[in-house]
Chains A and B, each alone.
Chain A
Amino acid sequence: MKDLIRFKNVTLGYGRNTVLRRVNLSIAERDFLGVIGPNGSGKTTLLRTMLSLLAPESGQVTVRKGLQFGYVIQRQLLETVFPFTVAEVVSMGRETQRKLFRLERDTNRESVEKALRFTGVYHMRDILFRDLSGGQKQRVLIARALAGEPDVLLMDEPTNDLDIKGEREIMDLIHSIHHQEGMAVIMVSHLLHVVLNHVDKVVFLHEGCSHVYPIETVVKKDILSRIYGFPVRVSELEGRKVIIAGE
């Protein structure tokens, strides 16, 4: 397996405010990585560093040359004043491939249509993005990321504020992107049950430190209780992992 992204003794922060220290991490092709931690633990900071949007304070971040990112931003951060249709939002994913003063290329149109169909929003392509429900918006943002034909998909809290059905549908979609398309996926979430049921590897961020574990280790050992300083157990129910907090 080739490494797509590698962190070596990386310290992250904003000026004098250090958020994470000595992060060591590697992401390989076909990895499905979950980044978990309480609010303010540095999840988005780590994601922004992977995307080269934030330079590390120290240490080394290596990104494979030519690596194409697909990024799914937290949808709550987007302004609703823009009257963009679903198709217009998804076609933004091809913007780097567009040439100035040139007509739209067929490859761009095909990629957008394929992404719209894969995420199940093709029939909504002429509807305004702002008029959609939370789950539908999330699908559109995933479609936009896929339209760019990325090597790795990074998602920031993709199931935030979704109801249980919406959460399941979005996770099924992400699961199929990983398994059918074989794409490396990195997902940030503060929802333990969402991450533990889908990923292969977990990065826990806690009090400025990062800990990387394969999912089997997290489930079998009492890692969660140690990290959260509070009894947390992982149990299985009908093949799915269930989080039990407290005694």
Chain B
Amino acid sequence: MELLSEVFLRYALVSAVLAGGLCAFLGVYVMLKRIVFLGIALAETAALGVAIGLLIGLHPVISSFVLTVLVTLLFWIPVRSSSVSRESLIGYVYCLAGALSVILIAKNPMAESRGFDIVSGNLLYAGLSDLIIIASVSVFLIVLNMGFLRKFLFVSFDRETARAVGLSATFYDSLLYVSLGIAISVSMRTCGVLFVFGSLVIPPMAGLLFCRRVWKVFLVSVLVAVISAPVGLVASYYMDLPTAPAIICVEAGILILMFLLRRFAGR
């Protein structure tokens, strides 16, 4: 409780819970659609957006948001080439975005001092404005998903049949991808690449490993992220660890614990 008397820690906790929960929720689609590396490429793209924003004097959330959504739409366009796969394109974007963001940070005296934070994330810098943005985006995306959940799942599971019966698979798929882009860009600014990618992958893995119903997968995924945030924050505070990596380690630890429990229970 002593910990929560500090305003910056309260902001950090709420930001980690919201961003982690949101990424964990949307991460279920990432896992189901088998587009895991899209998550890391988009997180890196969001980091590049932050670096561009810092360089040209634009609010980093805006530059990150615009760039991430644009790249998300690029990935959504079907790859028709038989010699270059979508995975290659994702790898290309990841490398280019990573390299460019490091170059832009190195060349920007204002950003260089915070370069490490952009990559690893430092939740302790989260301010009220960051929190308000994450909260607003989380509410918007969760409401959107409440309305479109069945359609998103149908299009993700069987796009061809969804189109055949008259569902606009293009619309729902693009909406889902843009949601992902928005969530990543907004979370990236406060939490960093590692936190975003970790929350997109590890909690949904726990959900899929442990649950045999789709709604439970979403629920467990979000719970793992939400529980990991305070535990990781407390650990980072008392053990003097970087916050976002500590939270990701807790998520990973919970996953291993759940796996062992599952094995122990003989399921």
By a beta-carbon cutoff of 8 Å, the part of chain A in contact with chain B is: 15, 48, 51, 53, 68-71, 73, 77-79, 81-85, 88, 92-93, 95-96, 98, 100-101, 128, 144, 148, 154
Contact = CB atoms under 8 A, between A and B. Distances in A.
A247 B151 CA distance: 53
B31 A81 contact: yes
Contacts of A79: 32, 34, 157
B212 A96 contact: no
B6 to A, nearest CB: 40
B154 to A, nearest CB: 5
A95 B162 contact: yes
B56 interface: no
5 contacts: A15-B80, A81-B34, A83-B217, A92-B158, A95-B165
B164 A71 contact: yes
A84 B157 contact: yes
Interface of B: 31-32, 34, 80, 146-148, 150-151, 153-154, 156-158, 160-167, 208, 211-214, 217
Nearest to B214: A83
Contact of B32 (A81, A85, A88): A81
Given A77-B160, A83-B217, A92-B154, A100 B165 contact: no
A130 B156 CA distance: 15
Nearest to B80: A15
B80 to A, nearest CB: 8
A71 B150 CA distance: 18
Contact of A101 (B80, B147, B158): B147
Contact of A88 (B165, B167, B211, B214): B214
A53 B164 contact: yes
The 3 A-B pairs at the shortest CB distance, nearest first, are namely A71-B164, A100-B147, A51-B164
Contacts of B214: 82-84, 88
A79 B153 CA distance: 12
Nearest to A89: B157
A53 B163 contact: yes
A161 B158 CA distance: 20
A96 B165 contact: yes
Contacts of A73: 158, 160-161
Contacts of A144: 161
A83 B165 contact: no
Contacts of B150: 92, 95, 98
B35 to A, nearest CB: 12
Contacts of B217: 83
B84 to A, nearest CB: 16
Given A79-B32, A79-B157, A82-B157, A128 B212 contact: yes
Nearest to B163: A53
A92 B164 contact: no
Contacts of A83: 208, 211-214, 217
Contacts of A70: 165
A166 B148 CA distance: 36
Given A82-B32, A96-B166, A53 B160 contact: yes
B118 to A, nearest CB: 33
Given A48-B160, A70-B165, 11 more contacts: A71-B165, A73-B158, A79-B34, A81-B34, A84-B153, A92-B150, A92-B154, A92-B157, A96-B166, A98-B151, A154-B164
Contacts of A77: 158, 160
A95 B167 contact: yes
Contacts of B163: 51, 53
A183 to B, nearest CB: 15
